[in-house]
Amino acid sequence: MSPPASSPSSPLPPPRLSDLVIPLGTLLGLADRPGEGHGLGPLDPDLGRALAATAVNSPHTTLCVTVTDPAGIAIGHGCARAERRSRAEAGLAAANPKKGGGPGPPGPLAALPARVNLTITATRLAELTRSAAPPGQPPWSFNRSDDPGPPGGFGAWMLTLPDGRRLTVKLDQVPTMECDHRHESHAYQPNDTLRHLVQVRDGECTFPSCSRHAKETDFEHAMPYHKGGRTCGCNAGARSRQCHQIKQSPDWNVTQPKPGWHQWETPAGRVYTQAPKRYPV
């Protein structure tokens, strides 16, 4: 029999920062807006920069960028992928890990993995012409790539980390406001891309009083799949397992007047509408 979870001999999961949301302008030194951490609350701009700088020292950190409308609602999103290198560059990087060649051995107080989500409005993204870090801070940069990115999206960008690593971020559309059934699955289960984009859009469980993180929820069809509901962003929402079961209870009904807006009707006839997550930008 395996030891119980609380047993001293059981390996504990490594410490990990939950989602850190940091305005991209704050990280680049172009603004001083606060961010937020799931379960941590608002983050002072300097603290946000420090946490991001620490997190990127871990090879297990995920870096993403979310484009929003002026209200902070997600309309575009992409996660960073390492730039492909030639064999010569890879060999040089392995020989010189301190020059940004790869993860290498972590520095002091480094290697605290996190999921870092950098936010920027579509207007500011279009106007972005420079990216300089605050005085005394390691340089970050975010520049447009020659790659056009996904069709209908917000292009491809190059994110350069303080240690010199370059990551490509391709910004796809998020199924909010309107739905063109992009990434639709014809099966009951969504593909990974659709699931992720719905999680980014909703942020948390879409039951009005539930705050469970969307990563810990079910991908749930507003109109049930077996009744003809489509597996797409127009008909999907993040629901915790308990709220998913409530939605399936008699006389409960959930509709989506538009993608990202979840309208709950209770057995008593009361109606509550949950809007998409509003990100700090």
58-76, pLDDT tens digit by residue?
888 999 999 999 999 999 9
pLDDT value at 173 more than 80 = yes
Among 110, 115, 118, residue whose Cα is nearest residue 38: 115
Q: Mean pLDDT over all residues of the chain?
A: 84
Residue listed under structure tokens 């951490």:
37
Q: Are residues 110 and 227 in the same domain?
A: no
Strands 114-121, 62-68: parallel, antiparallel or unpaired by DSSP? Answer: parallel
pLDDT value at 3 more than 90 = no
Average pLDDT rounded to a whole number, residues 144-168:
91
Q: Are residues 157 and 245 in the same domain?
A: no
Q: From residue 252, how far is each of 12, 249, 261 by CA, in Å? A: 40, 6, 17
Separation CA 12–CA 253 (nearest Å): 41
What the block records as the tokens of 149 is 């990115």
100: confidence class by pLDDT, cuts 50, 70, 90: very low
Cα 100 to its chain centre, rounded Å, is 24
pLDDT value at 89 more than 70 = no
Task: Output the pLDDT for position 180.
Answer: 81
82: β partners: 167
pLDDT value at 192 more than 80 = yes
Task: Please indicate whether residue 108 or residue 156 has the higher confidence score (pLDDT).
Answer: 156
238: confidence class by pLDDT, cuts 50, 70, 90: very high
Q: Are residues 103 and 210 in the same domain?
A: no
* Residue 198 resides in a domain: yes
Q: Are residues 212 and 95 in the same domain?
A: no
Instruction: Among 173, 205, 226, give the residue marking a domain's end.
Output: 173
Residue span of the structural domain in which 196 resides: 192-274
What the block records as the tokens of 281 is 């930008």
261: confidence class by pLDDT, cuts 50, 70, 90: very high
Task: Output the pLDDT for position 197.
Answer: 96
Average pLDDT rounded to a whole number, residues 200-222:
95
* Residue 145 resides in a domain: yes
Q: Give me the percent of the chain exceeding a pLDDT of 90.
A: 63
pLDDT value at 132 more than 80 = no
Q: Give me the percent of the chain exceeding a pLDDT of 70.
A: 80
* Residue 1 resides in a domain: no
Task: Output the pLDDT for position 199.
Answer: 96
Instruction: Among 173, 201, 235, give the residue marking a domain's end.
Output: 173
Helix (H) or strand (E) holding 19: strand 17-23
**DSSP per-residue letters across 22-64:** EEHHHHHTS----EEETTTEEE-HHHHHHHHHHHTTSTT-EEE
**The model's pTM:** 0.83
Average pLDDT rounded to a whole number, residues 96-116:
55
pLDDT value at 139 more than 90 = no
Q: Are residues 42 and 167 in the same domain?
A: yes
* Residue 47 resides in a domain: yes
Q: Are residues 29 and 157 in the same domain?
A: yes
Q: Are residues 136 and 216 in the same domain?
A: no
* Residue 2 resides in a domain: no
Task: Output the pLDDT for position 162.
Answer: 87
* Residue 64 resides in a domain: yes
Q: Are residues 64 and 127 in the same domain?
A: yes
Q: Are residues 29 and 159 in the same domain?
A: yes
Helix (H) or strand (E) holding 179: none
Average pLDDT rounded to a whole number, residues 244-270:
95
Average pLDDT rounded to a whole number, residues 189-195:
96
Average pLDDT rounded to a whole number, residues 101-107:
44
* Residue 68 resides in a domain: yes
pLDDT value at 248 more than 80 = yes
Q: Are residues 41 and 144 in the same domain?
A: yes
Q: Are residues 144 and 197 in the same domain?
A: no
Separation CA 278–CA 73 (nearest Å): 5
* Residue 6 resides in a domain: no
**Domain count of the fold of the chain:** 2
SS3 content of the chain, % helix, strand, coil (to 5): 20, 30, 50
Q: Are residues 45 and 115 in the same domain?
A: yes
C-beta separation of 197 from 175 below 8 A = yes
* Phi, psi (degrees; rounded to nearest 5) at 242: -65, -45
